[in-house]
Amino acid sequence: MSTGRVPFELVIPYRWSYGGPLTRFFEETKRNRRFVGARCTKCRCTLVPPPVVCGRCFAPLEKDLVPVSDQGRLETWTTVRFSYPGQPAEPPYTLGLIVLDGASNYFPHLVKEVEPENIRADMRVQAVWNPAPQGDLLDILYFRPL
Amino acid sequence: MTERVAIVGWAMSRFDTALRHLHREELVHGVVMDLYERTGLGPDAVDFVCDASDDILDGLSISNTGMIEAAGAFLKEETKIEEDGAFAALHAYQRLRVGTYRTALVVAHGKVSESSAVTYSNTICEPFYQRPLGLESITAHALQAQRFVEAKRATAEDAADWVVRAHANGLRNPHAHAARALTADDVMKSRPVASPLRLHDCPPLSDGAAALLLAVESEATKISKTPIWIDGLGLSHDLHYIGHRDLAEGRSVREAAERAYAMAGIRRASEELDVAEVCGHFSYQDLMLLECLGLCETGGAGAFARSGRFPVNPSGGALCADPIMVAGLVRLIEAARQLAGQAGEHQVPGNLRRALAHASSGLCLQSNVVFVLQKGA
Amino acid sequence: MPPKVACVGIGITEQKSKWELTLPALYRRAAKLALEDAGMKWRDVDSIVIGNSPELFEGVNHPEKWIGEAVGGYGKPLYRVHTGGSVGGSTTIAGYVNVASGMYGVTLALSGNKLNDCAHATLGLSTVYDPILGRYNFAAGAVSFVALQARRYLSKYGYTERLGALVAVKNRVAAGRNPTAHIKVPDNYDVDMALAAPLLSDPLRLSDCCPQSDAACAMIFANESRARDCRGPVAWVKGACAVGEGLYYAERDIAVPIALRKAARTAYERAGITNPLEELHYVEVYDAFSYQEPIWYEGLGLCEWGEGGHLFESGLTQRGGKLPANMSGGVLSSNSIGASAMIRKAEAALQVMGKAGARQVPNVSLALGHGWGGGLQFHTLMIFGRDP
Amino acid sequence: MNEPRIYENVIRIPYSWTTGPVIGAFLTALRDEKKILGARCRECKKVWVPPSDVCAPCNADIEPGDLVPVSDEGVLTGFTRVAHELMWRPADPPYALVLIRLTGADTDLLHLVKTPSSLDRLEMGARVRARWKPERTGLITDIDEFELTSEGNP
């Protein structure tokens, strides 16, 4: 009488809706190679990408999206050195939380063209735009030091 | 003695086959804002937020990470109950009975159009015995329906008449997006799906979200002119493997109803209740619920429904709109709307004082919750 | 004032990588341990609350439908709580609420998982992020997200990687006294050995990261009269609270857990605590990664923002210190994502009951258990006291 | 309203579920001995097919020692002819999911009927027998389907 394992690969197809704000955000990155954010009517902070509501204030966002610079500061980063399925790149690669100039929330993305030991907190970084954008996060290839 | 608890507000998003233009957070934010507009309140009036959604349905592990902001739960006490929103309402009721909270917001969402009812329900089956055989919601409920008919408790005609009546009610309810004028013949000749279930015996596919506001007595009377008191509450759970239980018995429905009736002091349900909203999802299961909830005697569901002397599912029920994770909470909302006289076109006339709402979780009514609601003093 | 509720029985299974049991059987094992600890029978339980980590981790949707009958749930009130990594904590709170609501006299709360039934647990983790925004798994994986938190903490307050190693040594050595802990290190495990571990995701080394364990935990809550019938010591719930914050909200600082600070303030209020550093005698924080322990000290209001590292280096939270923390070895020594947040509360309660065996700390009459989940968003707290 | 933007993708996760000793023994008996095991509860003596880790009504543990063989023949106690196209289906329609009370068991086993000749004669109480796959790997689908036996119905 043995105990064992039953193998099974769960495969579930999904069709996720982008929804209004994200559709407009990625139209701008694709068509105009620029970031847009939404400004909270209460705390006046600009959030990128535009969310459904300013979570902190639960206050509505201004209807018109505002353009936001593609430069900013790298608040924190990590160089990933171990591999796991579904990674954005082959290790080692560096992930960062970027706060774009004019925005006030984290925008996560890859950081390249700098050795990990040379990265400093809050260093200035600049988006590198994809020459063939598809309207998704890879419209920005990565951020590099300014 | 802790204070009584009342339903003081509700809101339902549009229900439709696919709300493709809305991100799930837009859907939830919309229904929460609608509730605040209807009650004239804002997030600072809410002490506790209880979310109901499902990771596999959303394709998002921890499906409430985005809901903290969308539902206005930022820096609030919050938790997620991974069952139909009616079970989250039960948990919110318990929180209010503790005495440390005055109000609780329950919000549930489900967008089956982003994934599928088959993957959602097949993955509920344990992985060794039922899952490899492809058991899912339709085939499981078909086996239960067949046993119910075999036990001479209902006929295909009873089921067809029930569907016709449900859709007729649904035509008076803007949220019943799938409601259509049907004849018994239409139902009995509709496409066979899994015997004895035909197309119209089954619920539609629906996306949607709903929200409910509960409050303790001293707060409730300030918020609403017609607070709807939760007088009775019962919950129970049955065996999982489909062949391990008598599918036609509905044991956990009966246990949940007994507990709710005992708490509310109800002895003869069909006489002391004025309206009921039940959530069997399929026609035969709705009929089975009439028996198991003690509204009619064994085998009498068909006649009881045809007699029309007791309004059941005036909203059309899940047969006309069935957003997964939300349909049970909608039954609770519809029962409260009836008592508050705010059910619009599908309002049951007369002075309604006590209502029943039922919701289930799992396949073939494996887990059930029953609420007894009371209007007025 | 809410009615008095006590934890009267605790069951923690071994936390290890492979359990030759099904998910229901693993939960049943924890339930039986808790019933034995409480001196109770299955029929004494009036309602059940089940927590389980995200379904995609184990591939079973609504697992409580399968687990329920194995833990006495047949014919009983039962529902499931799920808040990600903090699920054990929110399930504990739901167990307390079931009794405090007056609906039930005795409630069995269980939480756990069998992450190792999933060939690649990180695959399950990578589904935590919004599929569209996290599509290229930029923010995927708990390790990288917490690594971003750790790096932020170090650069903001000037601590070095030595802080992580110090926490790793304290908790990994402490695990030696905990029979259910997953990782056991040699007695001479020290800072240099921790710093020699390979870097996984800067600044996190292997020594700074929790293992992947399977386990289940059960806690039995009882109202005052039923608790008085129990012969052994019990741990009275003095305060319970769970608060959430957003993911990418305005001006978020990933190293400043404002939801934890709000939850702590509320829990202290309910427990009548005004100076936690002085009044608490024991703390279990959810140290899935070493740097998090000092960050959670700050969130708990044991010190000002930025002072967590210095509080740790002061030795105050070591064994023998004024406020010992994580003497169980913490999450750093055993992490069953489904059970860990409940185990933190169970360990706090065991210390209050004087039933923590070799890891018992002398005269603990007020102890706190913490847990976090989601994208560093949900914080759950429960405070236990020796007296009602 | 222009066409809403949709992101299509698949979540693909491999699992290998631990059977534990009881379900492990059941699946092993299918594979090695073409035998179906039930679990007899030490307290109420009920024979659960298929076996799980507990007899829930008695709250009694079930261990490999409680496993007893039952017949691979029995009678139909429920069936549904599946017509609609399911994304995950055990067979191409037409097939039936059935409940079978095997001789010696006190509960019903869920399984399949696929062969047309059997599908035509589905009725409550019909006698059925397991048709085993020649290559078996320790899965419930080591039984390919149940066939209606020709000895006619009671």
CB-CB under 8 Å, D88 with B136: yes
If you search the block for the tokens 């305060």, which residue do you land on?
A: C239
End-to-end Cα, chain B, rounded Å: 17
Of C272, C321, C276, the residue nearest C298 (C-alpha):
C276
CB B194 within 8 A of CB B342: no
- Residues of chain A found within 8 Å of residue D7, distances taken between Cβ atoms: 15-16, 18, 136
CB D105 within 8 A of CB D38: yes
Which pLDDT score is estimated for A87? 84
Which pLDDT score is estimated for C140? 59
* Sign for the pseudo-dihedral over CA of D120, D121, D125, D131: negative
Helix (H, G, I), strand (E, B) or coil at C318: coil
The verdict on residue B160 lying in a domain is: no
Alpha-helical runs (H) found in C128-257: 142-157, 161-174, 191-195, 224-229
Mutation choice for D interface testing from A5, A6, A9, A134 by most D CBs within 10 A = A6
CB atoms within 10 A of CB B50: 29
Which pLDDT score is estimated for C128? 81
In this prediction the pTM is 0.97
CATH number of domain containing B57 = 3.40.47.10
Which residue in the set B20, B130, B197 is minimally distant from D110, CB to CB? B130
What are the pLDDT digits (tens) for A2-36? 679 999 999 999 999 999 999 999 999 999 999 99
The verdict on residue B217 lying in a domain is: yes
Residue D30 at interface with chain A, using a CB cutoff of 8 Å: no
Q: What is d(CA A98, CA A76) in angstroms, rounded to the nearest whole number? A: 7
The alpha-carbon gap from B262 to the nearest alpha carbon of chain A, in Å, equals: 41
When divided into structural domains, chain D yields a total of 1
Q: Give Cα C205 to chain centroid, integer Å.
A: 22
Which residue in the set C132, C156, C198 is minimally distant from A22, CB to CB? C132
Mutation choice for C interface testing from B25, B28, B68 by most C CBs within 10 A = B68
Which pLDDT score is estimated for C138? 63
> Phi, psi (5° rounding) for residue B64?
-105, 10
A contact residues 49-68, partner B, Cβ 8 Å cutoff: 51-56, 58
Which pLDDT score is estimated for C226? 98
State what percent of residues in chain C have pLDDT above 90: 88
Residue B17 at interface with chain A, using a CB cutoff of 8 Å: no
- Residues of chain B found within 8 Å of residue D97, distances taken between Cβ atoms: 133-135, 139, 142-143, 194
Q: Which two tokens stand for residue B158?
A: 């009873």
Output the DSSP codes for D78-140. Answer: EEEEE-S--SS-SSSSSEEEEEEEETT-SSPEEEEE--HHHHHT--TT-EEEEEE-SS--SSG
Q: Give Cα B46 to chain centroid, integer Å.
A: 23
* Sign for the pseudo-dihedral over CA of D88, D89, D92, D94: negative
The segments of chain B whose pLDDT lies below 50 read none
Which pLDDT score is estimated for B121? 97
Local structure of residue A89 (DSSP, 8 states): S
Which residue in the set D81, D87, D140 is minimally distant from B194, CB to CB? D81
CB-CB under 8 Å, D18 with A5: yes
Helix (H, G, I), strand (E, B) or coil at C193: helix
Which pLDDT score is estimated for C85? 85
- Residues of chain D found within 8 Å of residue A23, distances taken between Cβ atoms: 4-5
Contacts of D79 by beta carbon, 8 Å cutoff, 6+ apart:
B143, B146, B195, D96, D97, D98, D99, D113, D122, D124
Residue of chain B whose Cα is closest to the Cα of D88:
B134
The verdict on residue B124 lying in a domain is: no
State which H helix or E strand residue A75 sits in.
strand A71-80
Helix (H, G, I), strand (E, B) or coil at C385: strand
Residue of chain D whose Cα is closest to the Cα of A136:
D7
Cis before B196 (ω within 30): yes
Which pLDDT score is estimated for B239? 98
Residue of chain C whose Cα is closest to the Cα of A83:
C200
Of C89, C287, C88, the residue nearest C207 (C-alpha):
C287
CB-CB under 8 Å, D9 with A18: no
Which pLDDT score is estimated for D3? 87
The alpha-carbon gap from C137 to the nearest alpha carbon of chain A, in Å, equals: 6
Per-residue CA distances from B240 to B138, B140, B359 (Å): 16, 12, 17
Q: What is d(CA B250, CA B252) in angstroms, rounded to the nearest whole number? A: 6
Mutation choice for B interface testing from A52, A54, A56, A106 by most B CBs within 10 A = A52
Which pLDDT score is estimated for C88? 94
Which pLDDT score is estimated for B69? 93
Local structure of residue C127 (DSSP, 8 states): G
- For chain C, list the contacting chains (3+ Cβ pairs, <8 Å): A, B, D
What ipTM did this prediction achieve?
0.97
Kindly tell me the burial class for residue C227, based on how many C-beta atoms sit within 10 Å of its own C-beta (0-12, 13-18, 19 or more). Answer: buried
Kindly tell me the burial class for residue C198, based on how many C-beta atoms sit within 10 Å of its own C-beta (0-12, 13-18, 19 or more). Answer: exposed
Residue D29 at interface with chain B, using a CB cutoff of 8 Å: no
pLDDT classification of D150: cutoffs 50, 70, 90: confident
Task: Give the number of beta-carbon pairs within 8 Å between A and D.
Answer: 82
Which pLDDT score is estimated for B235? 98
Q: What is d(CA C332, CA C296) in angstroms, rounded to the nearest whole number? A: 14
Q: Which two tokens stand for residue B225?
A: 């002119």
- The beta-strand segments (E) located in chain C are 5-12, 47-52, 78-81, 106-113, 199-201, 204-205, 215-223, 235-244, 282-284, 366-373, 378-385
CB-CB under 8 Å, D24 with A3: yes
The alpha-carbon gap from A5 to the nearest alpha carbon of chain B, in Å, equals: 10
Q: Which two tokens stand for residue A20?
A: 């209004």
CB-CB under 8 Å, B111 with A6: no
Which residue in the set A17, A20, A52 is minimally distant from B70, CB to CB? A52
Residue of chain A whose Cα is closest to the Cα of B67:
A55
- Residues of chain C found within 8 Å of residue A138, distances taken between Cβ atoms: 136
Residue of chain B whose Cα is closest to the Cα of D100:
B243
Which residue in the set B25, B113, B127 is minimally distant from A6, CB to CB? B127
Of A38, A35, A68, the residue nearest A51 (C-alpha):
A38
Per-residue pLDDT at A130 exceeds 80: yes
Per-residue pLDDT at C53 exceeds 90: no
Alpha-helical runs (H) found in C158-257: 161-174, 191-195, 224-229
Contacts of C155 by beta carbon, 8 Å cutoff, 6+ apart:
A76, A121
- Residues of chain B found within 8 Å of residue A56, distances taken between Cβ atoms: 69, 74
CB D142 within 8 A of CB D133: yes
- Residues of chain A found within 8 Å of residue C126, distances taken between Cβ atoms: 84-86
CB-CB under 8 Å, D89 with B244: no
**Which residue(s) pair with D79 in the sheet?**
D98
CB-CB under 8 Å, B240 with C77: no
pLDDT classification of C142: cutoffs 50, 70, 90: confident
CB A66 within 8 A of CB A119: no
Per-residue pLDDT at D1 exceeds 60: no
Q: What is d(CA B138, CA B197) in angstroms, rounded to the nearest whole number? A: 8
Mutation choice for A interface testing from C144, C245, C254, C377 by most A CBs within 10 A = C144
State which H helix or E strand residue C93 sits in.
helix C87-100
**Which residue(s) pair with A6 in the sheet?**
D17
Length of chain B: 377
Q: Domain locations in chain C?
A: 5-120+212-229
Helix (H, G, I), strand (E, B) or coil at A9: strand
CB-CB under 8 Å, B24 with A52: no
- Quick one: three-class SS letters along chain B? CCCCEEEEEEEECCCECCCCCCCHHHHHHHHHHHHHHHHCCCHHHCCEEEEECCHHHHCCCCCCCCHHHHCCCCCCEEEEECCCHHHHHHHHHHHHHHCCCCEEEEEEEEEHHHCCHHHHHHCCCCCCCCHHHCCCHHHHHHHHHHHHHHCCCCCHHHHHHHHHHHHHHHCCCCCCCCCCCCCHHHHHCCCEEECCEEHHHCCCCEEEEEEEEEEEHHHHHHHCCCCEEEEEEEEEECCCCCCCCCCCCCHHHHHHHHHHHHHHCCCCHHHHCCEEECCCCCHHHHHHHHHHCCCCCCCCHHHHHHHCCCCECCCCHHHCCCECCCHHHHHHHHHHHHHHCCCHHHCCCCCCCEEEEEEEECCCCCEEEEEEEEECC
Which pLDDT score is estimated for C124? 74
State which H helix or E strand residue A76 sits in.
strand A71-80
The alpha-carbon gap from D4 to the nearest alpha carbon of chain B, in Å, equals: 5
The alpha-carbon gap from D66 to the nearest alpha carbon of chain A, in Å, equals: 12
Per-residue pLDDT at C273 exceeds 80: yes
What are the pLDDT digits (tens) for C338-374? 999 999 999 999 999 999 999 999 999 999 999 999 8
Residue of chain B whose Cα is closest to the Cα of C3:
B98
CB-CB under 8 Å, B113 with A15: yes
What are the pLDDT digits (tens) for C92-139? 999 999 999 999 999 999 999 998 898 777 777 778 878 888 776 665
Residue A76 at interface with chain C, using a CB cutoff of 8 Å: yes
The verdict on residue B268 lying in a domain is: no
Which pLDDT score is estimated for B377? 63
Residue D13 at interface with chain B, using a CB cutoff of 8 Å: no
Per-residue CA distances from C197 to A117, C60, C158 (Å): 18, 35, 22
Q: What is d(CA B355, CA B339) in angstroms, rounded to the nearest whole number? A: 7
pLDDT classification of A85: cutoffs 50, 70, 90: confident
Range of the domain at D110: 20-148
Which pLDDT score is estimated for A2? 63
What are the pLDDT digits (tens) for B67-122? 999 999 999 999 999 999 999 999 999 999 999 999 999 999 999 999 999 999 99
Which pLDDT score is estimated for A86? 77
Which residue in the set A4, A5, A11 is minimally distant from D10, CB to CB? A11
- Residues of chain D found within 8 Å of residue B143, distances taken between Cβ atoms: 78-80, 97, 99, 110
The verdict on residue D15 lying in a domain is: no
Range of the domain at B42: 5-116+205-223
Which pLDDT score is estimated for C84? 84
Q: Give Cα C344 to chain centroid, integer Å.
A: 4
Q: Classify domain C5-120+212-229 at the CATH class level.
A: alpha beta
Produce one character per residue of B303-319: b if its CB has 16 or more CB atoms within 10 Å, e if not.
ebbeeeebbbbbbbbbb
Mutation choice for D interface testing from B133, B147, B198 by most D CBs within 10 A = B133
Per-residue pLDDT at D22 exceeds 80: yes
Residue of chain A whose Cα is closest to the Cα of B119:
A12
When divided into structural domains, chain B yields a total of 1
Which pLDDT score is estimated for D109? 98
What are the pLDDT digits (tens) for B365-374? 999 999 999 9
Q: What is d(CA C207, CA B204) in angstroms, rounded to the nearest whole number? A: 52
